[in-house]
Amino acid sequence: MSASKGKVLLVEDEPAIGETLQFNLESEGFEVDWKRDGLSAFDALCQDSSQFDAVILDLMLPHLNGFEILARIRPLAERLPILVLSARSLDSDKVKALELGADDYVTKPFSLQELMLRAHGLVRRGQWARASQRKPTDDFRLGSAEFSPASHTVKTAAGETVKITPTEMLLAQTFAQNEERVLSRNELLEQVWQYSSGTETRTVDVFVAKLRRYTDKPSEQSTPAIETVRGLGYVYKSSGKK
């Protein structure tokens, strides 16, 4: 039997969807722990979130919904990648989930092939986060903020120290390593989320907005450190943001 590619916590209350996802994830080489309600999933995460490399989370769940799980678990497991899989397709729901700490958002019905690609990307980011803790890279600046991969924290422009997710840290590193170069949304999806197409464009935009809250001083009226280049993507410029 080949070694597992990683362990995924699947939180889904619809039996048909859960069975399909479990079968396909296991066929891809993942170990799967399938929970059918929010409370049992939350208990598993509280007992030992480090046993999981990624989470696939439905929102509409018995006992404890996905929003509540995100709000409660993210401060305790900031390095754990979480993908929301939900029939709720409103932009407000997507933004809320991403703001609460989800790394990505997929709406039902979904492409099974695309979801498997995203699962691989999620697990790789979770494993990268653990490796970065064991072999941390140097701290780096982005705008007026200082990022520390070793602790997965950022000292913001406002002087606060904040725990951030692996996706936020990878996105910050990508901008820092590509200063003055315009990065398209597709490039960011490839380099950070590790899949090339099909994701919600809103995901990239929300994460860039989160980074700006760290990198830019609230009182500043000047151009943000990460600029929007209309029709092309984003570019990081350090000038004037010391």
Q: Are residues 123 and 157 in the same domain?
A: no
Same domain assignment for residues 126 and 154: no
Mean pLDDT, range 177-195, rounded to an integer: 90
Identify whether 242 is part of a domain: no
User: 132, 162, 193 — which closes off a domain?
Assistant: 132
Based on the domain organization, do 128 and 12 belong to the same domain? yes
Distance, first Cα to last Cα, the chain: 53
Q: Which domain holds residue 49?
A: 7-132
Q: Is the pLDDT of residue 211 over 90?
A: yes
| pTM across the whole model | 0.86
Residues 149 and 47 in one domain: no
- In angstroms, the CA 154 to CA 146 distance is 6
Domain assignment present for residue 2? The answer is no
My answer on whether 156 and 101 are in the same domain is no
Within-domain flag for 68: yes
Provide the CATH number for the domain around residue 203.
1.10.10.10
Same domain, yes or no: 184 and 75? no
Residues 128 and 160 in one domain: no
- Evaluate whether residue 241 is within a structural domain: no
Distance CA 96, CA 175 (A): 24
Return the axis-axis angle of helices 66-73 and 91-99, rounded to nearest 10°.
20
140 and 113 within one domain: no
How many structural domains compose the chain?
A: 2
176 and 98 in one domain?
Answer: no
Q: From its phi and psi, is residue 16 left (phi > 0), alpha (psi between -120 and 50) or beta?
A: alpha
Reduced DSSP (H G I as helix, E B as strand, rest coil) percent helix, strand, coil of the chain, to 5: 45, 20, 40
**Residue 168, pLDDT score:** 92
Residue that finishes a domain, picked among 72, 101, 132: 132
The answer to whether residues 91 and 35 belong to one domain is yes
DSSP string, 5-55: S-EEEEE---HHHHHHHHHHHHHTT-EEEEESSHHHHHHHHHHHGGG-SEE
Asked if the structure places residue 198 within a domain, the reply is: yes
Per-residue model confidence (pLDDT) at position 240: 47
Average pLDDT over residues 67-92: 91
Q: Tens of pLDDT along 25-65?
A: 999 999 999 999 999 999 999 999 989 999 999 999 999 99
**Rounded distance between C-alpha atoms, residue 221 and residue 217, angstroms:** 9
Give the pLDDT of residue 239.
Answer: 66
Domain end: 132, 158, 192, which one? 132
Give me the pLDDT at residue 31, please: 96
Judgement on whether residues 123 and 232 belong to the same structural domain of the protein:
no
Neighbours of 143 (CB within 10 A): 26
Q: What is the pLDDT of residues 99-130, one digit of tens each?
A: 999 999 999 998 898 899 889 988 888 777 77
